[in-house]
Amino acid sequence: MREPLIIGHRGASAVALENTIDAFEAAIAAGADGIEFDVRLSSDGVPVIIHDDTLSRTHGVRRRVVDLSAAELSSIGVPSLRELFELMAGNNLLLCLEIKSREPKLPELCCRMVREFGFAERVIVECFDLALLKDVDLKRAALFDSRMYTEQSIIDRSLAVGATVLALHHRLVKPKLVETAKAVGLTVVVWTVDDPVWVARARTMGIQALITNDPARMLKT
């Protein structure tokens, strides 16, 4: 197994529009070990792949995701979770599924579809709202952004929700925190890094995976 694993952030979003089939195909073509993607619900209760709660930034449409059906979102270029899973059925890449909204049904719907496709061993469900992870019966990753946290609070909060993976913003990464996390059984993933210097850094610290916008560049090291 490669050390560290190289995971495409919203696909290969450096070369294609993020969270689209084109971006995911580009990550696969680059040789990435997995992809990271964001899931929300359409107006008709279908899990769809998009980061923001509106379509303005990514698709130039001034509409909210929650106000559009899955068919309407598809016509704009937003894939469904099912469409992504159908694409990924032809490989065994790691799938990092981030829950982006607080709809109570979303975690259950995602977990149900993961099992339908037989992906339970390759999916990690992650979320900043750690309370939502308690409704997930798959591998869980606790997400932490660049805000200030004590190292112990990061560890304690992750373990409290049954996480086995700690997904850290790169500004939070310190050797002591990584060492402590590994000592209590947490696998460490770092996001989002595009500088190849992180590959050597990850090997030194024992970081399992790097999430990057540019998998091809990171894989050249």
Domains and CATH numbers, the chain: 5-218 (3.20.20.190)
Q: Is the dihedral of CA 34, 37, 41, 46 positive or negative?
A: negative
Residue 188: band (very low, low, confident or very high) from pLDDT cuts 50, 70, 90: very high
The answer to whether the CB of 172 falls within 8 A of the CB of 155 is no
Q: How far apart are the C-alpha atoms of 78 and 84, rounded to whole Å?
A: 10
The residue written with tokens 């993020």 in the block is 18
> CA-CA distance, 206 to 187, in Å (whole number)?
9
User: Binning pLDDT at 50, 70 and 90, where does residue 195 land?
Assistant: very high
Number of residues that make up the chain: 221
Q: What is the CA radius of gyration of the chain?
A: 17
What is the average pLDDT value for the chain, to the nearest integer? 97
Determine contact, residues 145/126, Cβ cutoff 8 Å.
no
DSSP assignment of 83-136 equals HHHHHHTTS--EEEEEE-S--TTHHHHHHHHHHHTT-TTTEEEEESSGGGGGG-
Q: Which pLDDT score, from 0 to 100, does residue 146 have?
A: 86
Mean pLDDT of 139-152: 93
Token pair of 95, please?
């799938």
Express each pLDDT in 56-88 by its tens digit.
999 999 999 999 999 999 999 999 999 999 999
Maximum CA extent, the chain: 48
Check residue 167 and give its pLDDT: 98
Residue 191 confidence (pLDDT): 98
The phi-psi region of residue 11 (left if phi > 0; otherwise alpha if psi is between -120 and 50; otherwise beta) is: left
